[in-house]
Copies of this chain bind each other. A is one copy, B any other.
Amino acid sequence: MDYRTGKRIVAETARRTENRYGNRPTMKDVAARAGVGLKTVSRVVNGEPGVTPDTERRVQEAIDALGFRRNDSARVLRKGRTASIGLVLEDLADPFYGPLSRAVEEVARAHGALLINGSSAEDPDREQELVLALCARRVDGLVVIPAGDDHRYLEPEIKAGVATVFVDRPAGQIDADVVLSDSFGGARDGVAHLIAHGHRRIGFIGDMPRIHTAAERLRGYRAAMADAGIPVEDTWMSLGVTDPQRVRKAAEDMLAGPSPVTAIFAGNNRVTVTVVRVLAEHSRSVALVGFDDIELADLLQPGVTVVAQDAAQLGRTAAERLFRQLDGTLVLPERIELPTRLITRGSGELPPAD
């Protein structure tokens, strides 16, 4: 069975149809074996009161003998809540999302919920497909790191009671809870830091501006430059490049042109890593500040100065808000912005080498 089409997958049909759940025992089976009623088994399984120790023992023996395990699918159907939440992010393999995901999981666990997650791979259609699949599973809530910029498709779901919190980027076209890092302020401070160290020709390499964080960081870059009265040249900016090869090319171009940059601001962790590589091969010393912290940044020569955001805190905050929505403690959607932190390690403090 495919969660998208609803069609069965051919190969599995043959083996499985005659063997539903591998013929798992049900409460009925347990009841028959223990010689009690169905509901009595239910009571024992759920630790409800009103069962004599003797009866309970008989039921428990039957449960153990048959290897019975309650079917939570049926339970969910009956009770209405699934005790699970969905997390849709861009890519679990990205070191930024690991801690975020784990933080969400911990909060979910504290509330007795399981976590279902999916990677959108930065594809809006895939995001929607995943989100709707999770809604069809009737997750109690959703934590979404948006790939797309139009989330009206979620309106009926939210209206129907699916708690929803967006993280890292705001929702598009709908009013919903959102937890962000202060990308604008962080980038502005990072670039201002470079300016304070004497740089005027500063390059910016970031992701596609349709991604909110990328746009905000670009805005921060422009704001810092404007504040310092430095006109920005087009050749200093590279937008929408994200794969290593193109980042490399972009960086090399900035360092080569007629007015080469003396410093680079890297818009996210992946860009930073590639730029570090390029600079390591470069003869002239070039300053660097990156958005997002990266592991081992302190051990490089020079250490990499970064604008750090706390991924775990983002996840934790979002998940806590989600459960407060579910509690009914929360009513109005809100936008929460977490501060970033500039960590100086050397690369951002290099003077311009003209």
Contacts and interface: CB of A to CB of B under 8 A. Distances in A.
Interface of A: 1-7, 9, 11-12, 14-16, 19-24, 45-47, 67, 69-77, 79-84, 91-95, 97-99, 101-103, 105-106, 109, 111-119, 132-138, 156-157, 159-162, 273, 276-277, 280, 294-297, 299-301, 312, 326-329
Q: How many copies does the complex hold?
A: 2
Given A3-B72, A19-B161, 9 more contacts: A2-B112, A3-B112, A6-B75, A73-B76, A102-B119, A115-B118, A276-B299, A296-B297, A296-B300
A160 B24 contact: yes
Select the residue from A12, A75, A98, A117 with max chain B CB neighbours within 10 A. Answer: A98
A234 to B, nearest CB: 30
A323 to B, nearest CB: 9
B73 A77 contact: yes
A288 B328 CA distance: 54
* Interface-centre pick from A77, A103, A296 (highest chain B CB count, 10 A): A296
30 contacts: A3-B72, A4-B112, A6-B75, A7-B46, A9-B112, A15-B328, A21-B138, A21-B161, A22-B161, A22-B162, A67-B157, A69-B135, A70-B136, A71-B138, A72-B137, A73-B76, A73-B77, A73-B82, A74-B77, A84-B116, A92-B101, A92-B105, A93-B103, A95-B295, A97-B98, A105-B118, A115-B116, A115-B118, A294-B295, A295-B296
